[in-house]
Amino acid sequence: MSVSAIIPWVVGNWKMNPVQADACALVRSMKELLEIAPIAEAQCHLGVAPISIALTQIQAQLSTANRAVYTVAQDVSRIPGTGAYTGEVSAELLADSNIGYVLVGHSERRELFADTVEILKAKIKNALNAGLTVIYCVGESLEQREAGQAEAVVLQQICDIAAVVEAEQWKRIVIAYEPIWAIGTGKTASPQDAQAMHAQIRQGLSQITGYGETIAILYGGSVKPENAVELATCPDINGALVGGASLNAESFLQIAQAFANTQ
Ligand code: PGA
């Protein structure tokens, strides 16, 4: 299999948005737009990550779309199973609700909620053991980029999790490269810089796991319809993790279409 055989992923990270009525309207618009302009599953996988209390409701609403749109949890507990852990949702409980995907390692979780490397490893281990697919986010800060450390930081973030991912589990890992300085700022890495980092990540994945050619590497950070086409043409960018622009059905699906068109 070569990199070009990877089906792109476009995933909307809704973060702590929106209110219920708007979430329902957003899904309704997505379904209507997909009827008018279908995007084949074989050309692009689609996912949305709503707030945890909306996961099953959005999943039910999406079940009548004309194609699969996966529901993705934004987080998972570092504690497996069930028990006296107030406020937590384990990987097993996500799987029990047929939620098959989870974001782990988003910079907002790392920075604002103290998700340390040890916590991220526990979350990934639990998620994989429960059968979930993990979208693992990596990315450098502006200071790290300016100090010339971007690649080293990102490769270290990949190495951080290698010990908890068993060989056959890498097929349930998707990487999302999100330079922190590009998230929600309107600044995007240039397609050249993004491609260079993605190529490094792929090389690193090949060395660490042997599966570099089959793992999808998404780009995230102010992806919008205006920059999606150029990002989509980069050979090592296999999709996008979209924040702000995913709260608008038209923008989100235009981004998905840009990646689908490369197939
Ligand atoms: P953004 O967010 O598209 O709003 O920059 C991306 C993300 O944080 O996943």
Residue 205 forms part of a structural domain? yes
Q: What's the token pair of residue 237? A: 């960018």
Active site residue 92: no
As a whole number of angstroms, the distance between CA 171 and CA 153 comes to 23
Nearest Cα to Cα of residue 255 among 4, 47, 66, 62: 47
154, 139 in Cβ contact below 8 A? Answer: yes
Residue 185 forms part of a structural domain? yes
| Residue in the structure block whose two tokens are 């907002």 | 108
As a whole number of angstroms, the distance between CA 118 and CA 133 comes to 19
**Mean pLDDT by groups of 10 residues along the chain of 263 residues:** 87 98 98 98 98 98 98 98 98 98 98 98 98 98 95 98 96 97 88 96 96 96 97 97 98 98 94
Residue 110 forms part of a structural domain? yes
Q: At what angle do helices 150-162 and 191-209 cross, to 10 degrees?
A: 30
Residue 16 forms part of a structural domain? yes
40, 260 in Cβ contact below 8 A? Answer: yes
Ligand 1 centre to CA of 81 (Å) is 30
- Cβ–ligand 1 contact at 222 (below 6 Å): yes
Atom of ligand 1 minimally distant from the CA of 220: 6
- Cβ–ligand 1 contact at 13 (below 6 Å): yes
3, 236 in Cβ contact below 8 A? Answer: yes
For residue 48, what are the β-bridge partners?
A: 12, 71
Atom of ligand 1 minimally distant from the CA of 176: 9
- Cβ–ligand 1 contact at 210 (below 6 Å): no
Catalytic option among 45, 92, 106, 198: 106
Overall domain count for the chain = 1
DSSP-assigned letter for residue 8: P
Q: What is the pLDDT of residue 136?
A: 98
Residue 160 forms part of a structural domain? yes
Q: Which domain holds residue 214?
A: 3-131+138-166+178-260
Sign of CA dihedral 189, 215, 50, 37: positive
Q: What is the pLDDT of residue 75?
A: 98
CA-proximal residue: ligand 1, atom 9 (nearest): 243
Residue 173 forms part of a structural domain? no
Ligand 1 centre to CA of 75 (Å) is 15
Q: What is the pLDDT of residue 189?
A: 87
Sign of CA dihedral 45, 221, 207, 135: negative
Active site residue 106: yes
Nearest Cα to Cα of residue 155 among 197, 108, 111: 197
As a whole number of angstroms, the distance between CA 246 and CA 241 comes to 9
Q: At what angle do helices 191-209 and 225-232 cross, to 10 degrees?
A: 50
CATH for 182: 3.20.20.70
